């Protein structure tokens, strides 16, 4: 193959890769790219020359500014649930924006999914049967996320009190207590399942 033919072939492969990324909604996995019949060394060459971008190991996009941080998290972790500080902030229960995304995820998922420099994601590995409890949906900046409802969230905050900043812990309890949309019956049901009934009774029950 002549040099000009090689250059032409390379351009064709790059177009093929970018078209595939577009078809996949802007992010393509390594194993899916491999189905195109392109040598992985060529994919790495595209990355090295900045023609496509590696978001994290095994995930690629066509340009670095294609997604906002929120869009990226929504696309990379559709099976996760916003929890702890991320869910508190989404509900307006704390005023300080978290420095990372707290996401509850099936404990059997690959740990390598969270090996990324940006965005910062804090995984909470969860038993499959517990993962679904109190799961609902919310829209943030036009992106749909799974998130725990307020009652499940408060139970988790009580269960993992030590993982929260003291200021955030106090603020979230005060916010829930003053929330007119709270469901105390549901809170007590979840408290039994999450084994924080005594904490709910002593820290919240006296105010409601």
Q: What is the pLDDT along the chain (208 residues), one digit of tens a residue?
A: 677 777 888 898 899 999 999 998 888 988 898 888 888 888 899 999 999 988 888 889 988 788 899 999 999 999 999 999 999 999 999 999 999 999 999 999 999 888 887 889 999 999 999 999 999 999 999 999 999 999 999 999 999 999 999 999 999 999 999 999 999 999 999 999 999 999 999 998 776 6
- Predicted TM-score (pTM) of the model is 0.81
- Indicate if 55 and 82 belong to the same structural domain: no
- Indicate if 8 and 94 belong to the same structural domain: no
Give Cβ neighbours of residue 102 (< 8 Å, ≥ 6 apart).
82, 83, 84, 85, 86, 87, 122, 124
Looking at residue 182, its pLDDT comes to 95
- Indicate if 113 and 181 belong to the same structural domain: yes
Domain boundary among 21, 41, 61: 61
3-state SS assignment for residue 52: coil
Domain count across the chain: 2
What distance in Å separates the CA atoms of residue 27 and residue 63, rounded to the nearest whole number?
A: 10
- Indicate if 55 and 74 belong to the same structural domain: no
- Indicate if 57 and 111 belong to the same structural domain: no
Cα dihedral 181, 153, 145, 116 sign: positive
**Residue span of the structural domain in which 55 resides:** 3-61
* 160 DSSP assignment: T
- Indicate if 159 and 79 belong to the same structural domain: yes
Give Cβ neighbours of residue 150 (< 8 Å, ≥ 6 apart).
91, 93, 176, 179, 181, 182, 183
CATH classification of the domain holding 129? 3.30.460
Looking at residue 1, its pLDDT comes to 62
């Amino acid at each position: 193959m002549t040099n000009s033919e090689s250059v032409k072939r390379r351009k064709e492969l790059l177009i093929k890769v970018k078209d595939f990324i577009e078809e996949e909604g802007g992010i393509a996995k390594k194993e899916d790219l491999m189905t195109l019949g392109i040598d992985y060394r060529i994919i790495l060459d595209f990355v090295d020359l900045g023609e496509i971008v590696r978001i994290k190991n095994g995930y690629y996009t066509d340009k670095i500014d294609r997604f906002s941080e929120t869009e990226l998290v929504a696309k990379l972790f559709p099976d996760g649930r916003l929890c702890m500080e991320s869910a508190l902030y989404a509900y307006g229960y704390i005023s300080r924006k978290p420095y990372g995304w707290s996401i509850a995820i099936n404990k059997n998922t690959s740990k390598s999914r969270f090996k990324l420099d940006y965005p910062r994601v804090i995984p909470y590995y969860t038993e499959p049967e517990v993962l679904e409890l109190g799961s609902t949906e919310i829209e943030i900046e036009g992106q749909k996320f799974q998130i725990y409802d307020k009652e499940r969230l408060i139970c988790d905050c009580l269960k993992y009190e030590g993982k929260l900043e003291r200021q955030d812990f106090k603020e979230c309890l005060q916010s829930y207590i003053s929330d007119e949309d709270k469901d105390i019956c549901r809170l007590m049901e979840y408290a039994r399942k999450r084994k924080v009934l005594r904490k709910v009774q002593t820290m919240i029950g006296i105010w409601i």
